[in-house]
Amino acid sequence: MRTESQIRKLIHEAVMSCHTAGFSLLLIQNRRELLYVEDGYADLEHQLPIQRDTIFRLYSMTKPVTAAAAMLLMERGRLDLCSPVSDFLPGFAAQKVFENGRLTVPKRPVLVKDLLNMTSGLVYDGTDTPTGIASGKLFEDIAARLDSDSPVTTLQAANALGQIPLNYQPGTWWQYGSSADVLGAVIEVVSGVSFGEFLKKEFFLPLEMHDTDFWVPADKQYRLARVYSRGKDGSLTRYTGNRLGIRNDMARPNPFQSGGAGLASTIDDYARFAQMLLSGGVHKDRRILSARTVSYLTGGMLEADAQRGFGEWLGLSGYTYANLMRVLRNPGQALTLGSAGEYGWDGWLGCYFCNCPADDLTILMMMQKTNSGTETLTRQLRNLIFAGLD
């Protein structure tokens, strides 16, 4: 690859400057590994290096997996995306919405499709509205009860979210939030098994994703990367908080199997999921999803009103959003090099996924630094990657 030396240099500089403790990158093109880079540490205190089998907390990079699970139930005729969420979760039956400073009844119910497109009215904490404040308190309660005798389950969390008034009328706006957590609970109800069991049977086992789960058992804990926060002085400090109801140590099964943020995985495990999508739903001659389903999953777009809401997300000009992923529609408006039709998502700790059908390319980046997502380093690497494909 023409820009390999520049890519390696940029990653090394990021580690040496304490931008991140450790970083790994994997590029696969035309079903072959194009480049793999690892640098820095999975554990700074014990000087344990990032390795190929290091396990990372995916946070929101869990969402595309949740969307794929919903698509599988859809293609089997078991899930109608037009169904009201209240058909599956009674907590959504008496839904209210904040509108013009007062509570009112929604003009229509939240639909499964709203969960996939983040047009539900559900939000995360940090949103300075009654909905955001109540959501934050709920996730704090989930975290506080992780080690109690009554931990919150996936269904309990989703039903509790349904009892919080929506931030806007369903379908009228886009706002990032807890929709995928609710979708995980819907999948649990429809499938009749826990969300984690469904993912393991239908995706993780057939895709040979043996290091992907909602927790990390004792015999794999030494491979779990530590999490760090970067201070204003540029130093890295260990982060041990339980964000969004997710156990930071991942040491025990969590009854709240978060469809929005709960999975941990390795770079190679997630690559198998990504490559399955890029191959039209096939892994090693085994069909996981139909080609038409994959096309639907990865090629959606928001309606005009909701797109205006998505347009407020800094850094995603040129993209739309559908099925819990960004989709590049207009490369000329984007803030990095790219190709039309690419799709993927990232996570709070800096894990990043992108499939580019036009280039037959999968891009995966992994790190564990708080408040990261798609950041400057991600965009710089994207530019080097796409420039190097010429």
Q: For the residues 316-345, what does the mean pLDDT come to?
A: 97
The predicted pLDDT at position 390 comes to 79
Do the beta carbons of residue 99 and residue 168 sit within 8 Å? yes
| pLDDT, tens only, 355-378 | 999 999 999 999 999 999 999 999
Average pLDDT, the chain: 97
User: Which tops the pLDDT comparison, 5 or 99?
Assistant: 5
pLDDT of 143 over the 90 cut: yes
Q: What is the pLDDT of residue 125?
A: 84
The pair of structure tokens assigned to 193 is 């098994």
Supply the pLDDT for residue 63.
98
**Pairing status of strand 264-265 against strand 319-322:** unpaired
- Give the list of residues 6+ apart from residue 80 with CB closer than 8 angstroms, or none: 74, 112
Are 227 and 289 in a shared domain?
A: yes
Burial category of 330 from C-beta neighbours within 10 Å (exposed 0-12, middle 13-18, buried 19 and up): exposed
Cβ count near 349 (within 10 Å): 26
Residue 76: its pLDDT value, please?
98
- How far is it, in rounded angstroms, from Cα 330 to Cα 320? 9
Parent domain of 115: 69-193
- The residue from 177, 193, 209 where one domain ends is 193
CB 310 within 8 A of CB 317: no
Same domain, 236 and 368: yes
- The pLDDT assigned to 118 comes to 98
d(CA 266, CA 52): 8
The total of other beta-carbon atoms located within 10 Å of residue 280's CB is 17
Mark whether 164 and 25 lie in a shared domain.
no
Tokens of 134: 């109540």
> Based on the domain organization, do 353 and 217 belong to the same domain?
yes
Would you state the structure tokens that stand for residue 385, as one six-digit string? 């990657």
List the structure tokens of 10: 């940029």
Q: Are residues 207 and 143 in the same domain?
A: no
Amino acid 128: pLDDT: 80
Overall domain count for the chain? 2
For 91-139, write each residue's pLDDT tens digit: 999 999 998 889 999 999 999 999 999 999 999 987 788 999 999 999 9
Strands 343-346, 325-328: pairing kind: antiparallel
Instruction: Classify residue 336 by its DSSP letter.
Output: S
My answer on whether 187 and 168 are in the same domain is yes
Percentage of the chain modeled with pLDDT above 70: 100
Residues 100 and 43 in one domain: no
Answer for the pair 87, 95: CB distance below 8 angstroms, yes or no: no
- What was the pLDDT predicted at 347? 98
Terminal Cα-to-Cα distance of the chain (whole angstroms) = 9
Q: Residue 165: its pLDDT value, please?
A: 96
Residues 34-72: b if buried by 16+ CB within 10 A, e if exposed: bbebbbbbbbbeeebebeeebbbbbbbbbbbbbbbbbbb
* CA–CA gap between residue 262 and residue 56 (Å, rounded): 11
pLDDT, mean of residues 305-334: 96
pLDDT digits (tens, 9 = 90+) for 202-217: 999 999 999 999 999 9
What is the predicted pLDDT for the residue at 84? 98
Helix (H) or strand (E) holding 155: helix 154-162
Amino acid residing at 280 = G
Domain of 123: which CATH number? 3.40.710.10
* Selection from 202, 352, 366, 364 nearest residue 283 by Cα: 202
> Do residues 91 and 161 touch, judged by C-beta distance below 8 A?
yes
Asked whether residue 113 falls in the same domain as residue 187, the answer is yes
Residues 162 and 226 in one domain: no
Q: Which of 139, 169, 193 is the last residue of a domain?
A: 193
Amino acid in position 225 = A
- Average the pLDDT over 59-73 and give the result: 98
Q: What is the pLDDT of residues 185-241, one digit of tens each?
A: 999 999 999 999 999 999 999 999 999 999 999 999 999 999 999 999 999 999 999
Cα 215 from Cα 146, distance rounded (Å): 13
- The pLDDT assigned to 61 comes to 98
pLDDT digits (tens, 9 = 90+) for 12-54: 999 999 999 999 999 999 999 999 999 999 999 999 999 999 9
303, 85 contact by CB (below 8 A): no
Phi, psi (deg, nearest 5) at residue 229: -115, 145
For residues 98 and 175, what is the distance between their CA atoms, to the nearest angstrom?
A: 14
Flag whether the pTM goes above 0.85. yes
Q: Does residue 323 share a domain with residue 228? A: yes
Query: What was the pLDDT predicted at 71?
Result: 98
Specify whether 253 is located in the same domain as 315: yes
Q: In what order do the strands lie in the sheet with 48-49?
A: 48-49, 32-43, 22-29, 361-366, 352-356, 343-346, 325-328, 319-322
Tell me, yes or no, whether 347 and 217 share the same domain. yes
Q: Which residue has the tokens 């380093």?
A: 377
Tell me, what's the pLDDT at 278? 98
pLDDT of the residue at 126: 75
**Is there a contact between 115 and 182 (Cβ–Cβ < 8 Å)?**
yes
Task: State which amino acid sits at residue 269.
Answer: D
Last residue of a domain, one of 138, 170, 193: 193
